[in-house]
Amino acid sequence: MATSKKATASTQPPAKPPAKPAAELRVYLTLTDLQPQFSSWMSSPLGARGYVAMQGTNALLVEIAPGLSIQRVIDLALKAEPTLEPGILAVERQFGVLELHSNDSAALQRAGQVILQWMGAKAQDQLRPHLLYSDILENVTDQHAVLMNRTRQASMVLPGQNMLLMEVAPALFGAHMANEAEKVAPDLTLVECSMIGASGRMYLTGSMASLEKAKTHVEQLLSEIPGRA
């Protein structure tokens, strides 16, 4: 006697989602109350710039490796908190950099938690900033100033001025140096702030007293930032 065959539901387990790529958290940093010079610099028409960050807003800065994974990070952050504005998105050879800003510090924090959750990391898992160089040049010569100003379009080093030079790794901490230095010594002129690449650099000019104040303040802040060696 013929028997009928009945279709049976598959007993195979559902397919697992693809494993997310390993990503290393290098920097997870919140900047509060962006200062006039620093926010203007960060909004200047240079490479990787996006939406303009205004004075007084707050910013979340993230640096991770490998570089291309920063695209997933911004995707997650903006879908979780679409009111945030991305100011910088850069994919370097080894690292990816993202800057988000908003007047809503709670929204920045929520977006940051989404990023950390995806990475399976905590903010303290970032690398500790390592100060590579810190020095003040007195009475810059005219020939030196010419070399410094070859690519300047705004603030310049003038002959006879004093100049603070600071370099830090990872590079994104350069933004922290510039914003915090301006908080304690707003009379100084921000000539340069680099925050993408192998290291971050800051050039400030002004009175020796204000430069010393900014130097001491930034060195202390960097030494207090938690992270792994």
Distance of alpha carbon 2 from the chain centroid: 73
Do residues 164 and 207 lie in contact, with contact meaning Cβ atoms separated by under 8 Å? Answer: no
The Cα 95–Cα 89 span in angstroms is: 11
Q: What's the pLDDT tens digit per position in 78-128?
A: 999 999 999 999 998 889 999 999 999 999 999 999 999 999 999 999 999
DSSP codes of every residue in 15-45: PPPPPPPP-EEEEEEEE-S--HHHHHHHTSS
Query: 3-state DSSP call for residue 5?
Result: coil
Supply the pLDDT for residue 46: 60
Strand order in the sheet with 24-31: 24-31, 58-65, 96-102, 85-91
Strand partners, 27: 63
Residue whose pair of structure tokens reads 């800003």 in the numeric block: 101
- Higher pLDDT: 202 or 42? It is 202
pLDDT bracket for residue 6 (50, 70, 90) = very low
pTM here? Answer: 0.86
- Higher pLDDT: 134 or 51? It is 134
Whether pLDDT at 158 is above 50? yes
Whether pLDDT at 226 is above 80? yes
Whether pLDDT at 47 is above 80? no
The Cα 165–Cα 226 span in angstroms is: 23
The Cα 59–Cα 76 span in angstroms is: 17
